[in-house]
Structure 1
Amino acid sequence: MALKSTIYKVQLQLADMDRHVYADHSLTLARHPSETEERLMMRVLAFALHVSADDTHGQLEFTKGLSDVDEPALWHKDLTGQLLHWIELGQPDDRRLIKAAGRAERVTVIAYAASTPVWWAPLQGKLSRAPNISVWQIPAEQSQALAALAQRGMNLQVTVQDGIVWVGDGEHSVQIEPVKLTP
């Protein structure tokens, strides 16, 4: 018998002062049996950092993710179905990223494992020919602290100011400082 996904409900209050995006979002996420809570929370963080202020040019959406190897963790398509933004999590290989760069206007990678420098070293030169790819690192201790906030029902407040992200659930708070690896 196959294991079923676990459903997480998130009430997200976003105040992104860097991008002037202020909104409340009700999110329902299915956590694949092989997905960790750390990756699940990185999906929530990626959503908060990249959601648009309005839906006039389509919406940022969670994809099938781990259930479909041809899709990223999140993507933003315009109203015609054109792929505007492809968002990957973890440490995808260079061929996947180059292919995504050909399909989408923008590609963002959010790496969060302690092994990110080892993964990034050989890819850095290969990805320089795709200027629409940006790679960010979330320090492992910060992503693990974020994972500790995971619950089946969450009320999260996310504040972004001067490139620093604070995520809180009313009782605990995590400060996240993304590091840009691409120029």
Structure 2
Amino acid sequence: MALKSTIYKATLQIADMDRGLYADHTLTLALHPSETEERLMVRLLAFALSVPEDDHDGALVFARGLSDTDEPDVWRHALDGTLRQWIEVGQPDERRLLRACGRAGQVGIWAYAASTLIWWQGLATRMARQRNLTVWQLPAAQSQALGALAERSMQLQVNVQEGQVLVVHGERMVELHPQRLHPAP
């Protein structure tokens, strides 16, 4: 018998001073049986830091990700069906990255494992020409602290200022410092 996904619900309040974005989102996320809460929370963070100001040209939504190899973790289609954003969490292989860059207007990668720099060093020169690709590294200790905030029902505040991210859940908070690996800062 196949294991079922676990459902998480999040009320997300975003105050992104860097982009001038202030928004509230009520989200339902499915934790795939092979996924950790750390990865789930990095997906949620990727959503918060990538969501557009409005959805007049399509909404950013969670895709099937781990359940479907043809879909990313998060994506946005324009109203005409054009794929605007493709967002992956983890360390996708070169073929998947190139396919995503060919299909979407913007591709974002959110890598969070301790091995991220080794993974990226192996791909950096081959991905240098991909102008629509942005790769972010979330230090492993910070992503683990973010994962510790996970609960089946969450009310999160995500505050962004000068590249620093503060995620608050009740009395607990995690400060994050995402580092852009590509394009080089």
Gaps of 5+ in 1: none
Q: TM-score, normalised by structure 1?
A: 0.98
Say how many residue pairs are matched. Answer: 183
Distance in 1, matches of 2:139 and 2:108, equals 16
Distance in 1, matches of 2:22 and 2:166, equals 14
Distance in 1, matches of 2:103 and 2:12, equals 29
Distance in 2, matches of 1:96 and 1:33, equals 22
2:94 corresponds to: 94
1:81 corresponds to: 81
Q: TM-score, normalised by structure 2?
A: 0.97
- One-letter amino acid matched to 1:44: L
Local SS of the residue matching 2:128: helix
- One-letter amino acid matched to 1:130: Q
2:28 corresponds to: 28
- One-letter amino acid matched to 2:177: E
Distance in 2, matches of 1:5 and 1:105, equals 30
Deviation per CA, 1:62-111, whole angstroms, max 9, x where unpaired? 00111001111001111111001110110001111111111011111010
Distance in 1, matches of 2:170 and 2:6, equals 23
Query: How many angstroms does 1:52 deviate by?
Result: 1.1
- One-letter amino acid matched to 1:168: V
Distance in 2, matches of 1:72 and 1:81, equals 16
Gaps of 5+ in 2: none
Distance in 2, matches of 1:126 and 1:17, equals 34
**4+ long deviations beyond 3 Å:** none
C-alpha RMSD of matched pairs (Å): 0.7
Query: How many angstroms does 1:130 deviate by?
Result: 1.2
Distance in 2, matches of 1:11 and 1:93, equals 32
Query: How many angstroms does 1:131 deviate by?
Result: 1.3
